[in-house]
Structure 1
């Protein structure tokens, strides 16, 4: 098309999928009530798709649940970036277990793999879970810090990979997002009628044990 090539094409695609808005020239073509996303369409191939929801944003009207902070100080000190810090906070404070009421175990983080018909993907962290009935769960987690936002693209491809890799296991997609006030928003997302929808949302704040409000703990019942 005669356009100057960007220095890092991969970063441009990543930014438009997860971090920044599309240019107005693209936004102006969206039908009312629909938004463009960029989906994987095979190895190094992408396509524009119209959906009703592109980014998931935390609600501002939810109560914050205080959780005793179990994050090792050395981890907080040496976390390399917001995403790594968030994944560590979720892991050491067992927020997946608390949020889903399951017993879960971290299997691998930053899992690079491929999905048939989509191409290469990266799952921020993959958990395996089990409930009291013995049912097993695959739990892909996406973590967003800084200016990144929770994207329906990543949710759809994470669930597609779980269906491909663990067809006999129930998949539950989790997203975590840093919020103002040192809070962590947790979402369970699912795909219904080819649309990503929010199943559950909770907000947690990690506090020292002596900072817990006894009355609030009783009220959580």
Structure 2
């Protein structure tokens, strides 16, 4: 029991420690009216020493936490003008920027048609998936949802790909597909996987696109974000960059069901013979 309590205390202290460090970084560099400014990871050690804070063993996790898991401290968010928010973006190896941007709000549409797909997920996968993200990636893969959604033949190249992108630094892509269409055009498809409460990330999409442009310059990049709506209902978004922002190209909702649950009426709707 003592170990469990100690573990819980450590988990609670980490975000506060991260918040202290990132708040001080912001305070040192921010000037009223700034829309972006840079800082370096080496500053964390200096700040931790000055404030008597135990430096996180994985200093990069301080940045990763505020990029994808936790909200920035109010001392930072309160400085953003109405309709904008601060994000942390990579600017090179161990280099970052605070940037003022408009919030990205991508969520499944309430009245979108749901397409039923015969569930091809092996039951043993569902029984042993270690979390929402892994379960979602597996269901997308086994049911060939990237192929169905984009209308190409796609194959998983690698999942949880960690690599370095020039001008950004280290990134991680949840899963990377390559594909081909009927005319022979080839594609690279970075996929984000989001649980029900997770948010689609502007930065992750921007980083995925930048990575594909650098490492697969001959292939067309078609970023996809997949989100669990329920355990077997998945929203798929194709995203792109336009005018410096992330836009939704298309959206579809799929429900994985036993083949016997797909009725003649459902098929008539999907074929256009009957209106939804």
What's the counterpart of residue 46 of structure 1? 96
User: May I ask how many residue pairs the two structures share in their alignment?
Assistant: 221
CA distance 1:181–1:161, change in 2 (3 Å): closer
Give the Å deviation of 1:176.
Answer: 0.7
* Structure 1, 151-160 or 44-53: larger mean CA deviation: 44-53
CA distance 1:55–1:119, change in 2 (3 Å): farther
Please state which structure has a larger fraction of its residues in strand: 1
With normalisation by structure 1, the TM-score equals 0.92
1:212 alignment partner, one of 256, 262, 265: 262
Give the Å deviation of 1:65.
Answer: 1.5
Give the Å deviation of 1:16.
Answer: 1.9
Please state which structure has a larger fraction of its residues in helix: 2
What's the counterpart of residue 233 of structure 2? 183
Q: Post-superposition, which runs of at least 4 consecutive aligned residues in structure 1 deviate over 3 A?
A: 1-12
1:75 alignment partner, one of 105, 125, 149: 125
Q: Which runs of 5+ in 1 are unaligned?
A: none
Contact 1:104 1:130 in 2 (8 A): yes
Alignment of 1:26-105 (within 5 A): 26-105=76-155
Distance 2:85 2:263 in 1: 42
RMSD (CA atoms): 1.8
* Structure 1, 91-100 or 23-32: larger mean CA deviation: 23-32
With normalisation by structure 2, the TM-score equals 0.75
What's the counterpart of residue 120 of structure 1? 170
Local SS of the residue matching 1:149? coil
* Structure 1, 206-215 or 139-148: larger mean CA deviation: 139-148
Work out which structure has the larger RCO, using CA pairs closer than 8 Å and 6 or more positions apart in sequence: 1
Local SS of the residue matching 2:82? coil
Distance 2:194 2:231 in 1: 16
Rg: which structure is higher? 2
Contact 2:226 2:234 in 1 (8 A): yes
Deviation digits for residues 70-106 of structure 1, max 9, x if unmatched? 0001111121221111110000000000100111111
